[in-house]
Structure formats: structure tokens, C-alpha cells
Amino acid sequence: MKILHTADWHLGELTGPVVDGQNVRLMDTVRCIDYLVDKANEEKPDVILIAGDLFNKSQMWASPMLNLIDIAASRLRKLAAIAPTVLMYGTANHDSMDAFKNIDLMYIPSLDIITTPAFFTVQTKSGPLQVAVVPGLDKGHFRAQYPGMDATEENAICSKLLGDLVLGLGVQVDQSIPSILMSHYTVAGCEYDNGQMTIFNNSEVILPKEALAASPFDLVCLGHIHKDQEVDHCVVPTFYSGPPNGLTFNEEGQRKGFWMHEIVDPESVPDAIRGFGKSARVRSFFIKTPAREFLTMNVDLREAVDLEMELKWQLAGIGVDGEALLMFPTTGKIVRLHYQCTEEQKKQLNHREMEQLLYKGGAFYVSEIKPVQVVAALSKQEMSENAGPQENLRSWCRAEGFTAEETLALEVLARPLIEAVSARMPTGKLSGVFIPRQLEVKNYRSYKEETFDFSPVTFATVNGPNGVGKSALFMDAMRDCLYEEPREGDLTGWISNDEAARSGSITFEFSMGDTTWRVIRTRAKSGKTTLALQELVDSEWVDRGDTKKDDTQHKIINLLGMDAMTFRCCGLIMQDAYGIFLEADRADRMDVLGNILGLGVYEQLEKLAKEKVTETNRELNRIKDKLAELGEKLKAKPGLKSELAEVKKEMAALATDIEAKEAQLREAEELVRSLEAKSVKTGELQKQIRALGNELAGLENDKSGHEERLSRAQEVLSAEEKILAKASEYEETREKVAVLQTKRPRLLELDGEQGQAASDLTKLDKEMKRLNTMIKPLEEVLANREKFSLALAKYREAVGVLEGMDALAQKHENLRSKVMEIEKVTDRMKDERYEKVLILKALMEKAAMLENSNCIDPEKANCKFLADAVASKAQIPSLEAEIAALLEQIKPLDEQVMTLDRQMDDLNYNMYEHARLKTKVAELRPQAELAAELSAKAELLEHLRKQLGQVEAQEKQLKERLESVIVWARQLAKELEPLAVMEAALPNLKKWAAAKEQLPAARQALAVASQAISKLEQDIKTKTEQHQQLNKEQDRLAVEAAGLDDAKKNADNLRGYIKHLQDKQNSLHGKAGGIKAQLDALKKDEEERRQVAAEMEPQAALLTSYQTLVRAFGQDGIPFSIVRTVVPELSAQANEILGQMTGGKMSLDMRTERIQKSSKKEVNALEIWITDYQRGSLPYKSRSGGQKVKAALSVAFALADLKARRAGIQLGMMFVDEPPFLDGEGTDAYCDALEVMSQRYQGMKVIAISHDPRMKSRFPQQIDVEDRGDEGSKLKLIA
């Protein structure tokens, strides 16, 4: 039976030329498939198998996909007309389920389309063929059985379940009929497209070899791996066909085509190879298709004398005479060019011209042109970030032409500055790999509370709908935590919009070399914030922050060795900031490179050196000011002597004036004392007048009080008759209310009895309903008593038969276990025999050389050519004996298996009858159980009926009692109707009763008040006369003491003037003493001036040295020298990545130069120009959106690569948001660049945010983000 085995057609447009609107590479694939159809017509196979990945992309627009479906359907129709054809679904990122359904709806005769695991038999012209199919399944097919696993566990479990699925399908095989397994998975031990061998490391789902070895299939036909091969050590012949046409450069140098397999009858296998097992029954040969070839050209231009001629010869085969070779190696091939050159040569190369030369040489399509190495001639004086500041300062001094002595002096001066900067570093130095460990957020944007552990992440993509928080957590959160630069600009912008969220927090944990750190930032909507920096020491977090937030922020930046812009340039590449480096000011780019290389130490050294310059300048200015000050002082010496004589003369005149004024003061003070005595007497009279006035006011108040009491008593006595009548009415009403209130509780009791009776009636009604509900089904069951009794008899009969079946099943299973144990032994012996037969075959081929050697005596030949053949021939008899012995050992074991098989057949055990009987017993069991319970149910029915009668009698009694209670309550309520009115009137009547008690007191108050008022009127009259006499005496004394203020003022004026004269006298005494002191001090100033002048020269020299250090540590000094050495390396790396993205059609040119920053200052800058074939060299901002993204990504990846390799803080992460404007080729190169980063730096965590299904398929790990409503956004890491 002949089988045509093909797979991985990958119908679809591939990157390449388009002619007359047709993608030529698609036409190449169609041509290879048409060749396959023609060969099928010639070979006439019995069946045709297509093992998955019919299409190249599952996600396509309707029109292109319909065109591909038409192409596929027409070829499938032709193949199915030749022989029955089986088309299997491959993987979801290539095959489209909708496309397969469309083909299925075309009803192509003899075409089976399989999209789920299946086992079926195909009728061929040579007889039946059993086909088991395992398509490429989505992990969800297995994941539902084992939820919550991590990626590694999931792959291992899925691989095991896949093996179980194969073994399950194998159970259905009839071994007397040929059988084939089709699948679309990787088998451990196969060879990848790039030549690497697979190893089962749980990084993907594999098809276990053990499952294939244990299966009964005669042949395994696979798809998925693009290199055609037979996989070794699978026991069952296992083949990958590869695609009919090449797809990528991974397949360079590989043949393309399909397999023709033939399964022969076991009886026709020669005895010599019968021991090979299943391999002896399968004969296979490979048929090549006219596939398009791939060619990678590696050209070294570094030694080229004439670059133009070298390019013509290497790329197009054009010699010095201008003639081209007739057949150049690139003819008709897909070509990529990798070249090495010097930095100077790179400036002369034009990728457009190089592409044209390749096409002249016959290339079908030029895929890419890129430099793999650009060698720059570097100065011997170059400095490195790996060297310390001291060593780089020494190199800089030599380059600047300083002498050894000057260099040593600058080193000594710089050493304290370097030590001070080192002491400021949180870890003591800027080194180690920055690796994210954990991120925890609370009330952060769309996240209510979430924690993400980065430990298991290696190479992952972040998935989820727009707005769910992908960029928020994996882009914004780290930047906001480390630097708090929210994209909104508002510092509170990152806090959740939830009204209940008043504040938010971000905790980011990361490692730096051997140390572990975390930053905790909180922010309230009110604006209040906290910031903490902590280090993990002996499993405890130790605070490393400062008391002020800004100082802690500076410590964080110093620890990381980079500011926010640098972090975003090379580690956290955000969607709206791919071009942040290219769009930056050309001078600022130098700062970014400096930060990447960890050159922030030089910025701090420059700052300290500038502080020293300022400090030294300040000291020089102090010296100059001191000299000027002393000079000015010495000028005053002659004038001071003359001034001293004038002061002494003025002091003598002041002494005479003071004596005269003191005599006048004594007379004024005597007058003041006389007037003050009269003023005191006036004050005493005023006190007596005030006291008498207060006493009169008290008498008037007492009189008013008695008058008020007299009025109230008269008012009460005038209403005496009415008060007595109302008080009598109060007593009568109070007695009636007391009688009626004793009857009111009984009415309340009757109301309660009425409510209780109604509640009891409701309960009785529910109880009757419950009893009726239980009685009805019992009556129905007992009505079918005869039916259930019959079911019980059948059940007992079936149970007896089932017990016998169970015993047979156990015997059958025991025999089957013995068969499997024996087959395990025979399989091992057959494998051993198979290996020996392979060795025998090789020995026989070598021995056959003796017969064809034309040697006179081949048996005694001792030439090296035949010696191996003679030795091989000598080994053949012993090896044949070993093979025969193994065969003899296998035969009795096979006989045992046959005996055991017969014993199993003799049992006549029928598993289907066994299962049917179990089902029957299970169906009869419920009715049998009911039949056993019929007597109990009859008794229960009788008991329930009695209960129902009792409940009905209780209900009747309760209704009669309720009626009598209602009548009694109505009568009592009518009798109590006046009670409420009387109770309301009692409070008002009670007031009149109280008024009756006050009548005796009113009569007594009337008599007392009249007597008191008469006496008070007499006392008031006497006191008023005394008050008038005192006022007259006070007025007389006041007139006599009126001149006191003028007398006091005159005395005060005299004292003030005398004080003024005395102060002036003291001032002149002080002035004279000061002049004498100044004259004494000038002598000391003259000596000090000589000493200060001697300090000027060494301080000026120190200033010059510190200014030199400022220049050395500044951006134009050591940092520029280091950055300049990095630019060629950065340029080459960026161009390599950009070349991959554009097929070598774009490149970058980076160069350092001096620019005029302002009218007075020149600075170092990094210029970047972008070159392509169509528009030549243009600045970044003049490019299209797609070109900008590709250029920006290439530079960003190159910066990240630089940061991961060079000194300073090395980044162990690369997080990238989804780039826009990338075509298919650009997307592949983007993914390739990320894979290279991940592979080059073990442990680097690469995370990319994407919506592109094709891109996601390149990442082994997936991080899903979903919106959980009130719970906020949530994360899940899956494979």
C-alpha cells in the first residue's frame, strides 16, 4: 500500500517581489504543489495525507483568504481524484477553521477534512487503511482538566495527555489491517529547521516517543517541523515531510518535497530484515520539488583595495573588464547579504547600489543587507566606563599634555572628591544587574489591588482588550513608582477614579547584583505623599531613605544610576515614546548615553569640583576684600588724632550746662508735691460718693421687689371663687378616670387572644396542606404496587448475571496484563536485534567491496582500502549467530502471547454486553428499592390520615372560641370610649387644684409687702440728702488741684534735657576712648596686611587645579571621551536590527560633533541621520510613521543591548509596548530582536504588549489581563 505524505504547504503571500499583481513567492509554492500533483499522478498512491498547516496565516481579510481557498481547493480536488485524501488541521496561527469549513462545504469527493482527534478507516484500491488523526490542538482542549497550572507544568501535563490520546486511539486499531497515525506536533529528538536537536524541557507541548513506541501503528506521518527527516528510536517508522517550498532562511540548504511510503505485507518481508520490526514493513523515498533556494552571502570588505570593484565582483560576479560570470551563485535565489567593513568603508557604502548589484548577479529577491561587523580604528588614549575615575583622569591628563607631576597633583586633589561620591552611593558603587522581582499596586488606575511576580517570566507577551490596564501595569507603574512621572502630568492622576479610593500605593521590588531593594510610593487625592527606599538585609527590610522625600528620590536615582528618560530609552519602551532618544535634542543624547554607561559619577564629581572652585574663589575674594579693608583702615590714622582733641574741648562745656539745669529741677519738684496732696483728698471724696450711690440703688431695687409681690398677691385673691370651682371639678374627673383605667388591660388581653387564635388557625391550615401533600404521592405509589414488585424480580435476576460477568472481566484483565509484560520484554529484544541487523547490513556492505575490488587474493589483502572490509567480513558470522540467538529467544515469548490471546478469546468475555448489563441494573435499581419500601409506605399513609382528622377537629374548636372573644371585646371598647377625653382634660384641671393651695400664702404676702415699702421710702430720702453734700465738697478741691499736670510736665522736661546733656557727655567719653582704640588697632592692621598678602599666590594655583578637574569631569571631558568610543558599537548594533526590519533597505549614521549651543558656548552632540534607498539621508522627523517606528525600535534595542553589557547598572529587563506601523517583515524582525536579547542575556526578562496574534505565537509565555468589574483588572501568567 503506497502513501503520499506531505504537510506544511503554508499557502499565502510571503515577503518577495510582486509581478502583474501576483506575489511571486506564492506562485513558487503553487508551482511546487502542482509538481506534487503531477508526481502523484505518476506514482498512483493508495492514499494521500496532508499533515496540517495548509495556510500560512489564519487571520486574513476575506478577499485574499477566498483566493487562497480557491487555490487550495482546486489542488485538493485533483489529489482526491487520484486517491482518497486526508486533510488535517494544523495550528491556529496558520490554519483557519473558517477556511477549512469553506472547503468542507465544497463537498470534494474522497476528501476527508479532520479538525479534531479522530479514528476512521479509508477504503483504498489496495484494501482498507486505518487512520488515526491528532491535529494541532489548542491548549484549552487539555487546560480545562487541570486549571491553575504554571507554564512548565501545563506543557508537561499537556504532553502526557497528548500521549494518552495517541494510546487511546491505538486501542481501536485492528492489527490485521495497516494503520497510520497523523499528527502536527514536535517529537523529542527531531531536528529543527535551523539544525538544532529538540530536547524535552517542558518549554513546549511534545508528542512523547514512549507513546509512539507503545502504539500499534505501522507508520507515523507528521507535520509542523520544516526539515524532512525520519525520527530515530521511535520503534514505529516516524517521518516529517517538511513543506513543498522553502519559507525562511532557517531552511537554507535543505531539500524540499514530500515522502512516498509503502507498507508491505508482513509475509513478504525478507528473513534478513524481519528482525527490524515495523521498519521492515515500511519502505520510503523522498521526492524533491522545484523549490526556490535561499542563500546567505557573507562578504568581508575590510581588506578591499578598490571598494567599488570588490563589490561588483563579490555581489554580481563582474570582473575588472566589466564582464559578468555566466552563472553566478545568486542566480534565481532569495538572497541576504551580511558584510564586514571598516567604519570609513561604511560611510562609502550605499545599500541601494549593493541591492542593484545583487539583482545584476541574478538574485530572485534580496531579503536584507546588513553589516555584521563594523571595525573602527580607536585611539590608544581611549577611556572606558569600566575603568575608575582615577584611572580615566590619569588617561585624560596624558591626552591633554599634562606633565607627570601635574597629573599626580590633580589625582591627589581629585581623590577626596571620588571618595565622597563613592560614599554617597546606596550600595557603595554603581554596578550589578537590575532585575524586577515583584510589583504590587493598590487603587492604581484600573487595578483595585493586584500583585505580579516577575520571577517565572522570561519571554512573554501581554494580552487583553484596550483599556484593561496592560500598559498601566507593565509600563506606567514602574515609572510612577521609581520617578512619579504620570502620563497625565497631574501627580494624583494615577490614583483610581473609584470614589471610595482616597489614596493609592505602588510597591516595586527589584534586585541589584547581590542586593534586593524595594521602593514604596503612596499618594492621596488630596496631594499628600510618602516615599520609602528599603534594602532587604537578613530577611528584614531596612530603611535606606531620607527624612525628606526629595532627598529619598535623589537616592533612588543614584542607586539606579539613571534618570527617568534613560530608563525609558533602554528598558521601558512606551508606545508613545519609541523615538524619545531620536527626538531628543542632539546634545541631550550625549547625556542619555552617559547615563546608560553609568557616567553619572562624573556629573557628581564635576559638581563637587565646581563647589571646590566656588569655595576657592570665595577664599580668594575674601583675601582681596581683606587687603582692601586693611588699606582703607590705615588711611584714617592722621584724622583720628585731630578728632580726639576736639572731643575733649566739647566735654568741658557740657559739664557747666548740666549743673545749672539740676537747680531748676529741684524747685519744680517741690510744687508738684503740694498739688498732689490736694488731688489725693479729691479722690477719697469720689469713693464716698460712689459708695453712697450704690447704697441708694440697692434700696430702690428692694422697693421694686416688694411692689411686684404685692401685685401678684392681689391678682390671686381676686380669682378665688373660680379657683375653688375648678379644683372641685378636677377631683370628680380624677375618680372616674381611675375606675375606667382598671378595665382597659382586659380589652388589650382580648385583642391578644383574638390575634393568637387567628395565628393558630393559619398554622393548622398549613399543617393540613402539608399532610395532604405527603398523602397524595403515597397513594399514587401504592396504586402501582404490582408494577414495582415485578421490577424487583427483574433486578435480582440481572444482579446475579452481572456478578458472573465481573468475574470474567477480572480474568480477562489478568491475562491482558501478562501479555503486556511479555510484549515489553520482546520489544526490548527486537530493538536489540534491530540494532544488530543494522550493524550486520553495514558490515555486509563493506565485505561486498572485496568481491568488487579486482584484488588477486582479497582474503589476504593488507592495503588500508580493503583491510577494513576484511575485518568486517570476519565479524559477520558471529553477528549473524547473535541475531539468530535473539530470534530464538523471541519465538517462545511470541508463542506465549498467542497462547494467552487464545485463553482470552476462550473466556468469551464481551465488554459491550458487560457494560449493557451494568446499565440495566442501574436502571432497575430505583424501582426495586421502591418495591422494598411499599409496606412501610402503607403504614405511613394510615398514620398521616389520622393526623389530618385530628387537625381538622382542632380547627373547628378554635373558630368557635374566636367568635366569643370578638363579641366580648366590642362591648368593652364601647364602655371605654369617654376615657380618652377625660384623660386629656386632667392636666389643665390639675393647675386649678394647685392654685387653690396658694390662696393662704397670697393673703400673708399682701400684709408683709405693704409694711416693707413704707420703711424703704423713708431710708431713700435720708441717703439722697447725704449724697448731695459730698458732691459740693469734691467740686471745691478739684478747682484747687487743676495746675498739677502743668507742674509735672515742667519737671519732666527739665529731667529730659539734663538726661540729654548727660548722654551727650557719655557719648563724647566713648568717642574719645574709641579713637584711642582705633589708633592702637591700626598698628596691628599693618602687620595683618603683610600676612594676608602672602596667602594670595597658593590659593590662585589651587583654583586653577580645581577648574582643570571641572573640565576633566564635565561633559566635554572624560564622559565625552568614553561616549565617543561607544557610538560605533551602538551604530553597528542599531543598523543590524534595522537591517533585519527593513531587509537591509534602511540604515543609521551616528556621529559626534561640536555644535554652537548658544552665542557663547559650544557643546558635544550626537547627530543621527536615517538613510534609505528611495529618499537618501534625512533626519528622523522627516520620515514616515513606519520608518520612524523601525528606526526608533532599532535604536531602543541597541541602547538596551548596550545597557545590558557595559559597566554601571546593567538592565536585566526589556519591556516594550506594541509598536504601530510595522509590516509583516518588520514584525518578524522586531520579534527576532527581542529573542536575540533574551538568548544573549540569560535571565533577562522580556515582556511585549501586543494585539497581533502572529506576534503572540512567537512568545512561549502569555500574560492575560482581564477586567473583573468591581474587582478591577486582574493578571494571569499562562504558557
Q: pLDDT digits over 401-438, tens only?
A: 888 888 888 888 888 888 887 776 554 444 678 899 99
pLDDT at residue 853 in the model: 62
The answer to whether residue 262 scores a pLDDT higher than 90 is yes
pLDDT at residue 417 in the model: 85
Average pLDDT, stretch 1078-1090?
A: 78
Query: Cα-atom radius of gyration of the chain, to the nearest Å?
Result: 56
The answer to whether residue 99 scores a pLDDT higher than 80 is yes
* Residue-wise DSSP of 775-841: HHHHHHHHHTHHHHHHHHHHHHHHHHHHHHHHHHHHHHHHHHHHHHHHHHHHHHHHHHHHHHHHHHH
* Range from 301-310, 412-421, 951-960, 1150-1159 carrying the lowest mean pLDDT: 1150-1159
> Does the predicted TM-score (pTM) go above 0.75?
no
Task: Specify the long-range contacts of residues 1106-1111, CB closer than 8 Å, at least 24 apart.
Answer: 1106/413, 1106/609, 1106/612, 1106/613, 1106/616, 1107/613, 1108/410, 1109/393, 1109/410, 1109/413, 1109/414, 1109/417, 1109/605, 1109/609, 1109/612, 1110/606, 1110/609, 1110/610, 1110/613
Evaluate whether 155 touches 203 at the Cβ level (below 8 Å): yes
Q: pLDDT digits over 980-1022, tens only?
A: 888 788 888 788 777 777 777 777 777 777 777 788 778 788 8
The answer to whether residue 1126 scores a pLDDT higher than 90 is no
CATH of domain 425-561+1210-1279: 3.40.50.300
Of 490-494, 729-733, 877-881, the range with the highest mean pLDDT is 877-881
User: Between β-strands 540-543 and 529-537, what pairing exists: parallel, antiparallel or unpaired?
Assistant: antiparallel
The set of cell numbers assigned to 89 is 488541521
> Residue by residue, what is the 3-state secondary structure of 1204-1260?
HHCCCCEECEEEECCCCCCCHHHHHHHHHHHHHHHHHCCCCEEEEECCCHHHHCCCC
| Opening angle at CA 95, ends 91 and 101, nearest 5 | 125
Q: Which of 189, 135, 165 is nearest to 7 (CA)?
A: 135
Average pLDDT, stretch 943-958?
A: 81
Q: Which of 320, 256, 310, 311 is nearest to 288 (CA)?
A: 256
Q: pLDDT digits over 457-491, tens only?
A: 988 999 888 888 888 889 889 989 998 888 777 88
pLDDT at residue 150 in the model: 59
**What band does 55 get if pLDDT is binned at 50, 70 and 90?**
very high
Q: Which of 454, 514, 487 is nearest to 1215 (CA)?
A: 454
3-class DSSP assignment, residue 75: helix
Question: How is residue 11 annotated by DSSP?
Answer: B
pLDDT at residue 1130 in the model: 77
Strand segments, DSSP code E, in 900-970 are none
% pLDDT > 90, the chain: 22
- For the domain made up of 2-292, give the CATH fold: Purple Acid Phosphatase; chain A, domain 2 (3.60.21)
The answer to whether residue 970 scores a pLDDT higher than 90 is no
Q: Which of 278, 277, 283 is nearest to 260 (CA)?
A: 283
pLDDT at residue 385 in the model: 64
Average pLDDT, stretch 222-230?
A: 94
**Whole-angstrom distance, CA of residue 775 vs CA of residue 1210:** 83
Evaluate whether 576 touches 568 at the Cβ level (below 8 Å): no
Domain ranges within the chain, ordered by starting residue: 2-292, 295-375, 425-561+1210-1279, 581-597+1115-1207, 647-743+979-1042, 785-934
> Residue by residue, what is the 3-state secondary structure of 1129-1179?
HHHHHHHHHHHHHHCCCEEEEEEEEEEECCCCCEEEEEEEEEEECCCEEEC
pLDDT at residue 298 in the model: 93
Average pLDDT, stretch 665-688?
A: 78
Strand partners, 1240: none
Which one is predicted more confidently, 188 or 422? Answer: 188
**What band does 859 get if pLDDT is binned at 50, 70 and 90?**
low
pLDDT at residue 377 in the model: 41
The answer to whether residue 395 scores a pLDDT higher than 60 is yes
Q: Which of 348, 389, 354 is nearest to 370 (CA)?
A: 354
Which one is predicted more confidently, 1029 or 80? Answer: 80
**What band does 104 get if pLDDT is binned at 50, 70 and 90?**
very high
The set of cell numbers assigned to 140 is 484549552
Which one is predicted more confidently, 692 or 362? Answer: 362
The chain-wide mean pLDDT, for the chain, equals 82
**Whole-angstrom distance, CA of residue 51 vs CA of residue 180:** 12
Q: pLDDT digits over 110-125, tens only?
A: 999 999 999 999 999 9
pLDDT at residue 757 in the model: 79
Strand partners, 1107: none
The set of cell numbers assigned to 980 is 380618652
**Residue located via cell numbers 482470552:** 904
pLDDT at residue 73 in the model: 94
- For the domain made up of 647-743+979-1042, give the CATH fold: Helix Hairpins (1.10.287)
Q: pLDDT digits over 138-152, tens only?
A: 665 555 566 656 556
The answer to whether residue 264 scores a pLDDT higher than 60 is yes
Evaluate whether 51 touches 183 at the Cβ level (below 8 Å): yes
pLDDT at residue 349 in the model: 84
**Whole-angstrom distance, CA of residue 781 vs CA of residue 771:** 16
% pLDDT > 70, the chain: 89
3-class DSSP assignment, residue 593: helix
Cα-based distances in Å from 89 to 55, 100, 225, 268, 1104: 10, 8, 15, 35, 80
The set of cell numbers assigned to 695 is 447704697
**Whole-angstrom distance, CA of residue 71 vs CA of residue 1009:** 131
Average pLDDT, stretch 1199-1207?
A: 66
Q: Which of 49, 64, 34, 8 is nearest to 246 (CA)?
A: 8
pLDDT at residue 428 in the model: 45
pLDDT at residue 243 in the model: 96
CATH of domain 785-934: 1.10.287.1490
**Whole-angstrom distance, CA of residue 67 vs CA of residue 63:** 6
3-class DSSP assignment, residue 463: strand
Please name the amino acid found at residue 745.
P
**Residue located via cell numbers 513543498:** 244
**Whole-angstrom distance, CA of residue 326 vs CA of residue 397:** 60
3-class DSSP assignment, residue 972: helix
Check for a shared fold between 647-743+979-1042 and 785-934.
yes
